[in-house]
Amino acid sequence: MQRETVEMTGDEPAEPGSTPRLYQRVYSILSQEIENGVLTPDDPITETGIATRFGISRAPARRALSELEASGHVGRNETRGYTARSGGWKAADTTNAASDQLSDDKLVSLPTWERIYGEVEAELIARISFATWRVNEAELARYYKVSRTVARDVIGRLQQSGLVQKDDRSRWYAPALAADHVGELYELRWVLEPVALEKAVPNLPADLLPRLRDNLVRAIAMGDQIGGGILDALEHDLHKELLGYCGNRALMQAITYPQSLLVAHRFLYRWTALLYEREPFLPEHLDIIDRLAAGKVAEAKSVLEAHLRISRERAIERIDLIAQGALPDPLPYLDQMG
């Protein structure tokens, strides 16, 4: 797999007060231009055009387009890439960047690690369905022509997302998405997430549950036309945004590690779209939201746990399907371990 053909990239929305990611800044600028009528359905929006305009690589440009499609701001055009749409998806603003701080200037002021992180993450995720990989910091720096400090920053962020770990010799590696590893991660999730859900309920904004429910209803109505970007956004709605209101930072940090699966799902959704005729997690999420809206918190917790238990089996199915395909091309900073 060459760097220019990476399908999914980018990282989780920035935490409050942190610097927005490259794709998030691009998303914020373009979504506002669409909402304000600066970009119209007559204007083609392409990956190459975004990369050229903002002076960025195609990886964050591709992720920004994916987010714009997920939010309903753009739609695919058979001949011209994407075109603007009116009436976007009712997703929360995760850019954490005020509009008056954004401009059409080249986005080169961000830290160097941030400009390559999404591409590294995507390449790693594309391979962990096949094996465990050693991550070579020196080769990573050499491949992207950056300093060892920058490479170390990228690996540090991968660790924060739960994708890489250190072995007993302090060497970095990305564990394979093997059935036992996936099972352990999901077990952590079904223990921790219902606790966070209960703690979040008293803190939820009044408009949150109606918005999340509307998103789910619209997605279900799309049937098999739904894209991976929208599925990713819906996972974020429940498992990140809603649970984020639990008010317990230590608990959310504990949840972060097993939720590395959500990062991997971006890739899995893209490549296993035809595994199910209709995405099965959508009605499960809707059931949880409806029980919360009815004040049945205990029932919502039970449904969430059941959802995560069955999700484990579906994730393993997706990973097995990917593993039956061809291994992506080798990269000098990733060494297969087994």
Query: Mind giving me the DSSP string for 34-73?
Result: HHTTSS-TTSEE-HHHHHHHHT--HHHHHHHHHHHHHTTS
Residue 46 lies in a domain: yes
In the predicted model, what is the mean pLDDT of residues 62-71? 86
Same domain, 149 and 278: no
pLDDT (tens digit per residue) in 207-260: 999 999 999 999 888 877 776 667 778 888 999 899 999 999 899 888 877 766
Q: What pTM, to 2 d.p., does this model score? A: 0.61
Same domain, 77 and 208: no
Same domain, 150 and 280: no
pLDDT (tens digit per residue) in 25-54: 888 888 888 877 777 787 788 888 887 777
Question: By residue range, what is the domain housing residue 131?
Answer: 112-175+325-336
> Comparing 111-125, 166-180, 291-305, which segment has the lowest mean pLDDT?
111-125
Same domain, 264 and 278: yes
The average confidence (pLDDT) of the chain is: 79
Same domain, 216 and 306: yes
Question: What's the total number of domains in the chain?
Answer: 3
Phi, psi (deg, nearest 5) at residue 205:
-60, 150
Cα separation, 325 vs 330, whole angstroms: 15
Distance spanning both ends of the chain, measured CA to CA: 19
Whichever domain contains 313, its CATH number is 1.20.120.530
Whether pLDDT at 295 is above 90: yes
Residue 7 lies in a domain: no
Strand partners, 76: 82
Whether pLDDT at 18 is above 50: no
Residue 66 lies in a domain: yes
Cα separation, 22 vs 56, whole angstroms: 8
> Of 101, 124, 146, which marks where a domain is finished?
101
Whichever domain contains 121, its CATH number is 1.10.10.10
Same domain, 156 and 251: no
Class of residue 149 by CB neighbours under 10 A (exposed 0-12, middle 13-18, buried 19+): exposed
Residue 106 lies in a domain: no
Same domain, 198 and 239: yes
- Taking the mean position of all CA atoms in its chain, how far away is CA 94? 12
**Per-residue pLDDT band at 157 (split at 50, 70, 90):** confident
pLDDT (tens digit per residue) in 109-143: 556 777 788 788 878 887 887 889 999 999 999 99
Dig out the tokens for 47 from the structure. 């990956």
Q: Cβ–Cβ contacts within 10 Å for residue 147, how many?
A: 12
Q: Is the dihedral of CA 7, 68, 159, 165 positive or negative?
A: negative
Structure confidence at residue 3 (pLDDT)? 34
Residue 293 lies in a domain: yes
DSSP H or E segment with residue 157: helix 148-160
In the predicted model, what is the mean pLDDT of residues 297-325? 88
